[in-house]
Structure 1
Amino acid sequence: MTDRRFPKVVYRHGSEPDPRFTLANERTFLAWIRTSLALVAAGVALEALELPIQPELRLLAAAIFILLGIAAPAHAWIGWMRTERRMRRNLPLPAPALSGVLAAGVVIAGLLIAAGLLL
């Protein structure tokens, strides 16, 4: 029964899409959750391991990775809901919400690590 499913903001509108699309949407959600764990692990590893990186740049890169790891589940949840609602209403799929921010953050953290290795 659709009225018992969570979140109601997703399931109270439209009709059931092809289950393959719903399952693909769920796999994308779970991939973002795994990405979140990897980002947090990268941030923790940067600070926990004795790496030959300038300490200030290492700390800044670690903080960026951890903040991105915290933001990624929000991105996953928002993206899953937006996509599921659009599929249920037979509308075009939405553009990613925070992917650009997450990608830019990873690039910045990588550049900080590279600079910290070279200095």
Structure 2
Amino acid sequence: MASKNGDGEPLDYRFSLANERTFLAWIRTALGLLAGGVAVQALAEQFAATGVRRVLAAACVSLAVAIAAVAHRQWRRVEAAMRRGDQLPESAMVPVLAIGVTGVALAAGTAVLVS
């Protein structure tokens, strides 16, 4: 039986599939950040400042863990809201990711220029 939205109409499966694609995009982003953190730790030995490599790697891995941890919860919240016919909930991860990636990029750029 198809799920109903708040108006008693069946939920269009395309919305559910779009929500799933968004979840998978968050997971891909987390995997990319995890791979970036591992690559920085393993390959970026030329940084002159001590500990920069470890800090950059830890920042990438921390962002990856945060995104992966929140992605499923956000997927469930959006799915439930659609089924109830409510407004879709906002995600705090969008600004966290934007600020985190900007910070990592600025730190990496600075480390490259100083080395």
TM range (shorter): 0.7 to 0.9
Task: Show structure 1 runs of 4+ deviating over 3 A.
Answer: 13-16
How much has 1:97 moved relative to structure 2? Answer: 2.7
Q: Whole-Å Cα distance in 1 between the matches of residues 33 and 83 of structure 2?
A: 32
**2:17 pairs with 1:45:** no
Q: Whole-Å Cα distance in 2 between the matches of residues 50 and 43 of structure 1?
A: 10
Q: Which residue does 1:28 correspond to in 2?
A: 22
Q: Which residue does 1:58 correspond to in 2?
A: 53
Identity %: 45
How much has 1:51 moved relative to structure 2? Answer: 4.5
How much has 1:57 moved relative to structure 2? Answer: 1.9
Q: Whole-Å Cα distance in 2 between the matches of residues 75 and 50 of structure 1?
A: 29
Tell me: CA distance 1:90–1:17, structure 2 relative to 1, closer, same or farther (3 Å).
same
TM-score, structure 2 as length reference:
0.84
Q: Which residue does 1:87 correspond to in 2?
A: 82
Tell me: CA distance 1:30–1:64, structure 2 relative to 1, closer, same or farther (3 Å).
same
Q: Whole-Å Cα distance in 1 between the matches of residues 60 and 28 of structure 2?
A: 14
- Asked if the contact 2:27/2:71 (under 8 Å) is kept, the reply is yes
- Asked if the contact 2:44/2:53 (under 8 Å) is kept, the reply is no
Name structure 2 gaps, 5 residues minimum.
none
Count of residue correspondences: 110
CA deviation profile, 1:76-116 (whole Å, cap 9, x unmatched): 11210111011001111111132211221111111110111
Amino acid at match of 2:55: L
Q: Which residue does 2:113 correspond to in 1?
A: 118
Aligned CA-pair RMSD:
2.1
Name structure 1 gaps, 5 residues minimum.
3-10
Q: Which residue does 2:69 correspond to in 1?
A: 74
CA deviation profile, 1:45-74 (whole Å, cap 9, x unmatched): 001114532342222111000011111112
